Amino acid sequence: MTTATTPTPQATLAVLFGGRSSEHEISCVTAGGIMDVVDRTAYRVVPIGITRDGAFTLQEDDPAAWALHGQDLPSVTDNGTRVRFPDAAGSRALTVVHADGRTESVEVDVVFPILHGPFGEDGTIQGLLELVDMPYVGDGVLASALAMDKHVSKAVLEHAGLRVAPWTTVLRREWQADELGVAESVAAHGWPLFVKPARAGSSMGVSRVDGPEDLAAAMALAFEHDSKLIVEPRVVGREIEVAVLEGRDGVPRTSLPGEIVVADDGFYDFAAKYLGGDEQLLNPAPISEDDTAAIRSIAARAFDAIGGSGLARVDCFLTDDGFVVNEVNTMPGFTPFSMYPRCWAASGLTYPELVAELIELGRRAVR
């Protein structure tokens, strides 16, 4: 005689993607990858695409629609629907307004905000979700905001005793008021320099500057993405990264490190990250056991320093005299071929298992 079992009811997972930042398309690609591997016996997926204008729309649950096709990147179009969040804590019901005016209520168990850059990775969407008491995947408001700002995160990491690359922060108004003075100040780092928006990711707006004649153009490009920049000297070393995952016991879990290999005269830019080939990433990184242990320890310390939860990727340079922390990303590239999931795959955790673990951590999180 067999005993009948009651099937576990599906939970509802809202996936947030797109957004107002310059990383809109990569967020869409990441969403497609995650939606493709979510366990559909456990979760019903509600895809919420945020347009470039900031409209929250209900999109089709079709991972293929959000996949990368050659060099064509998907984006969220306004289909006339609107998704409204609860107007008070205590309700986890989203209101969906269809293009024809019909409305429906959708109860959500957890939100996966797969948003890169401003208005998503910087603590803003996390704040919205906390205001209405909705569980969500990933880092909280403070860690998200702190890691998003390269100037502030460097200061915090340095205060925690971690070695970071030297930098100069430049505000738009400072550059506009005294271009020559700022140029002389940053030139003290030596050439080449890297000019970066302080609060953007995916190498958007980043330029390598080999001499003073190219500085103004690099500053102009970076200022298209942010009103605050950082300027850093080139750090000579191998680019090594570690994926961090929140531990069930509170102790961060770290992956085997991965290595980015780029040409001597280049850097790991947007095209290389998302439109290039597999030959640029080595997983695991071919480094010694001592160096592996050292960078995994550094990654865990950096995660704790920013008050991390959920996930992060810690990027370092391995120089002749040890590791230098470059930055911490709280919503790193998460396509199946991105460094973060590849590091975990090399450590024995598959992409579907990683996604499932992050969703479970989000449901359990105490903010």
Q: What is the token pair recorded at 286? A: 């071919």
Q: How far apart are CA 266 and CA 239, in angstroms?
A: 12
DSSP tag of 228: E
Model confidence over 162-201: pLDDT tens digits? 999 999 999 999 999 999 999 999 999 999 999 999 987 6
Is it true that domain 11-136 has CATH number 3.40.50.20? Answer: yes
CB atoms within 10 A of CB 104: 11
Q: For residue 1, what pLDDT is reported?
A: 42
Q: How far apart are CA 182 and CA 191, in angstroms?
A: 15
Q: For residue 67, what pLDDT is reported?
A: 86
Q: Percentage helix, strand, coil, to 5, in the chain? A: 30, 25, 45
Is there a contact between 209 and 218 (Cβ–Cβ < 8 Å)? yes
Alpha-carbon separation of residue 214 from 61, 90, 200, 219, 237 (angstroms): 45, 54, 21, 9, 24
The CATH T-level fold of domain 168-233 is: Dna Ligase; domain 1 (3.30.1490)
Q: For residue 215, what pLDDT is reported?
A: 97
* E-state strands within 1-114: 11-18, 43-50, 56-58, 82-84, 93-97, 103-107, 110-113
Q: For residue 283, what pLDDT is reported?
A: 96
Q: For residue 265, what pLDDT is reported?
A: 54
Q: What residue ranges of the chain have pLDDT lower than 70?
A: 1-8, 201-202, 263-279
Q: Which strands make up the sheet holding 193-197, listed edge to edge?
A: 168-171, 228-233, 193-197, 207-209
Q: What are phi and psi of 46, to 5 degrees?
A: -115, 105
Q: For residue 7, what pLDDT is reported?
A: 46
Do the domains 168-233 and 146-163+236-349 match in fold? no
* Superfamily name with CATH number, domain 146-163+236-349: ATP-grasp fold, B domain (3.30.470.20)
Q: For residue 56, what pLDDT is reported?
A: 98
Q: Which strands make up the sheet holding 11-18, listed edge to edge?
A: 56-58, 43-50, 11-18, 110-113
Q: For residue 167, what pLDDT is reported?
A: 96
Q: Is the peptide bond prior to 192 cis by the omega test (within 30 degrees of 0)?
A: yes
Q: What is the token pair recorded at 195? A: 């000019």
Domain ranges of the chain: 11-136, 146-163+236-349, 168-233
